[in-house]
Structure 1
Amino acid sequence: MPIALITGGSRGLGRAAALALADSGHDIVITYRTGQSQAAEVVDRVVATGRRAVALQLDAADGASVGAFATALPDALASLGGDRLGVLVQNAGVAGRTPLGAIDEDAVQQLFDVHVKGVVLLTQALEPLIADGGRIITLSSGLARFTAPGMSVYGAMKAAVESLTRSWAAELGHRGITVNAIAPGPTATDFAGGMIRDDEAYRRGIVAMTALGRVGEPTDIGGAIALLADPRSGWVTGQRIEVSGGARL
């Protein structure tokens, strides 16, 4: 069976992606930074579908952690009966407000380390383990297209991810590997303190600006990721696919 790796797969969009890919026939590797018990619950959910799964610790912002993870991954793949990844989903992320006039250097560095440096280093480290004809799916954001108060640096980092996605699609095309970015719109998770999920007034404001008249759910994003991983999406590469219900059209 093909094996899919989802970074940040213990909760939120990563959890939804892991479950959607398991439903479509993939065995699963997820990473977590601190949520070991949550990761174990996702593994149990995947196993309950009849697929195999394992969870590994990874701090995507730490180059040493990325190196150790890349070294350990072949053994994890072997435990699932394989030696190659069919799908790599670069989902790990962190929120951070950076209103102009109050931007902290450490906050900029953290956003860069997780969303850009970590994605670059991990993709480079794992590229030899991705099967020819495989899939790399990065996570961008609607905020690479539209704006929200205080989210300028986060949006800029996601725009960088989209640029990397296009470049890697060109570089890896000779191996038949597709590279695409999913750009979620406002989605009800615990990201950024769960505001979209929990603040009803905030949700109403989003709904008013969204063509389909609701906020996104994690399963909306997980389903889109599974679609890109499907063999029938093999002629799609270098693309940014916004999954937002028509937010701010």
Structure 2
Amino acid sequence: MTEERVAPSRPVVVTGGSRGLGRNVAVNIAKNGFDVIITYQTNEAAAKQVVKEITELGRKASALKLDTSDVASFDSFSASLRADLAQRGIEHIFGLVNNAGIGLDAPFADTSEEVFDRLLNIHLKGVFFLTQKLLPIISEGGRIVNVSSALARVSLPGYAAYGAAKAAVETLTRYLAKELGPRKITANVLVPGGVETDFGGGALRDIPEVNAFIASQTALGRAGVPDDIGPVVAALLSDSHRWVTGQRIEVSGGWQL
């Protein structure tokens, strides 16, 4: 009689994992054999539902509250994360997916300092310092996946601050890949195109004219859906992609080629 082998726990933290792309990423990486720790800012009920869905897949999951714009809170978050890991009998996470984000748009001439700072705090400063804070508990040979946007490549009026922040994340990712290479940690940036979620008020998902515009500019003739994105993140975390690092990987269906 052979002894059943249990897959080792390789937990991955997914920020903003209670909804939209983050939810899809969390579920897809669980389907690929990873345990998951999602973060949420306000919607605890939605986060608990994601945890339930993942545990029903046979993987361990938990949800921790985090405001990625508040760097001062990262110490307490790190302590909560370490406590969560200790309950599992482990000390390290395998991966970090910096997904949390917001959509605020305004013409360049009308973008306030408040809007600019909020976007930069979440999409760049938060990514930089959360990764730095968690770096000691990312395992050797682990993975970092940052989420950018095709709006860092294509200029769409109203998204100057958002696009600039995402472009900075793409540059940061290359630096992470270079500096963390000695620890065999890969760092890549995933770049979605327009995806049908509640992001930015859900305009792409809910307004036919907006959806049709994105589809008309996309080589594959439609807007994206969350299931176009989550499996790609899962692949970047997998052993098959251990030799991929420092790369910008656009998953947009060929938007504005």
Same fold flag (TM > 0.5): yes
Cα RMSD between the aligned structures? 0.8
Tell me the TM-score normalised to structure 2 length: 0.95
Q: What is the aligned counterpart of 2:207 among 199, 205, 208?
A: 199
Q: Corresponding residue for 1:245?
A: 253
What is the alpha-carbon distance in structure 2 between the residues aligned to residue 80 and residue 207 of structure 1? 44
Moved more, 134-143 or 66-75: 66-75
- 2:225 is equivalent to residue 217 of structure 1: yes
Partner secondary structure for residue 87 of structure 1: strand
Q: Corresponding residue for 1:9?
A: 17
- 2:119 is equivalent to residue 111 of structure 1: yes
Q: Corresponding residue for 1:58?
A: 66
Q: Quote how far apart the aligned CAs of 1:201 are.
A: 1.2
Paired amino acid for 2:167: A
What is the alpha-carbon distance in structure 2 between the residues aligned to residue 105 and residue 95 of structure 1? 16
Paired amino acid for 2:153: R
- 2:238 is equivalent to residue 227 of structure 1: no
- 2:72 is equivalent to residue 71 of structure 1: no
- Correspondences of 1:123-202 after superposition (within 5 Å): 123-202=131-210
Q: Quote how far apart the aligned CAs of 1:78 are.
A: 2.2
Moved more, 160-169 or 211-220: 211-220
Tell me the TM-score normalised to structure 1 length: 0.98
Partner secondary structure for residue 93 of structure 1: coil
Moved more, 66-75 or 31-40: 66-75
Percent of counterpart pairs with the same letter?
47
What is the alpha-carbon distance in structure 1 between the residues aligned to residue 12 and residue 86 of structure 2? 13
Structure 2 unmatched ranges of 5 or more: 1-8
Q: Quote how far apart the aligned CAs of 1:98 are.
A: 2.6
- 2:71 is equivalent to residue 93 of structure 1: no
Partner secondary structure for residue 110 of structure 2: coil
Q: Quote how far apart the aligned CAs of 1:160 are.
A: 0.4
Which digits, 9 at most, give the CA deviation of each residue in 1:77-136, with x for residues without a partner? 122342211110000101111302211110000001101111111000000100000000
Structure label with greater radius of gyration? 2
What is the alpha-carbon distance in structure 1 between the residues aligned to residue 220 and residue 95 of structure 2? 30
CA contact (8 A) 1:10 1:31 kept: yes
CA contact (8 A) 1:7 1:30 kept: yes
Paired amino acid for 1:87: G
- 2:46 is equivalent to residue 35 of structure 1: no
Partner secondary structure for residue 101 of structure 1: helix
Paired amino acid for 1:134: G
What is the alpha-carbon distance in structure 2 between the residues aligned to residue 79 and residue 213 of structure 1? 47
Structure 1 unmatched ranges of 5 or more: none
Paired amino acid for 1:30: I
Which digits, 9 at most, give the CA deviation of each residue in 1:63-88, with x for residues without a partner? 12212101211111122342211110
- 2:31 is equivalent to residue 19 of structure 1: no
Equivalent residues, number: 249
